Amino acid sequence: MKKHIYTWFFMSVCGWKIEGPFPTHHSKMVLMVLPHTHWFDFFLGLFTRGIVGVDMHWVGKKELFRFPFGAYFRWMGGRPLDRRGNQNLVESMVELFKNSSELRLAIAPEGTRKKVHQLKTGFYYVALGAQVPIVPVAFDFKAKAVRFGAPFIPTGNYEDDLPQLLAHFKGAMGKIPAYTFETAQSNDTPQQ
């Protein structure tokens, strides 16, 4: 029933569509979500999750998951991340995958909603370290479409793999067009 309500509102009232099959046969994956230009992207993700009918997750620092908001954030797909000691963010997320039987983790490689000229590489190295596929997900406000790409297995060569991943996002426009990452540009100096 809930799925039908989400679908009706998202597609009939709002005029959006979902393109491409969601790879339900994978219980673990990194969802590479681009472009991320506005806080509304979070709600777009929630509607997509409700329509597809599988749990999708995001991470936040463990302090966000304390009372009174902890239960709500978990219900919304949040997973607390404990960055204890000198463990970096990528290592923490890889550990989260290893300790989960099912995890579909949405990551926006821009790392912010503002304009960026290069992507952060963490999404890639999380997938590589956890040995899970990367599924490209385009939030295209111009076409009013959420587009799922085919699962991509990272080879370990970021420079060769990135253009293949970015091909899925060609033409996708964020809610704030001026902040949309330009997928055709080079990404010579990656940031982790």
Compute the radius of gyration of the chain from its Cα atoms.
Answer: 16
Contacts of 144 (CB under 8 A, 6+ apart): 14, 15, 16, 17
pLDDT the model gives residue 189: 43
Q: What is the pTM of this model?
A: 0.85
pLDDT the model gives residue 123: 96
pLDDT the model gives residue 58: 87
pLDDT the model gives residue 185: 44
pLDDT the model gives residue 117: 87
Q: Which residues of the chain have pLDDT under 50?
A: 184-191
DSSP for 39-99? THHHHHHHHHHHHHTS--BEEEEGGGGSTTTHHHHHHTTEEEE---TT--HHHHHHHHHHT
pLDDT the model gives residue 83: 63
Rounded Cα gap, residues 132 and 125, in angstroms:
10
pLDDT the model gives residue 184: 47
pLDDT the model gives residue 112: 78
- 177, two tokens: 């067009």
Distance of alpha carbon 173 from its chain centroid, rounded?
16
pLDDT the model gives residue 80: 83
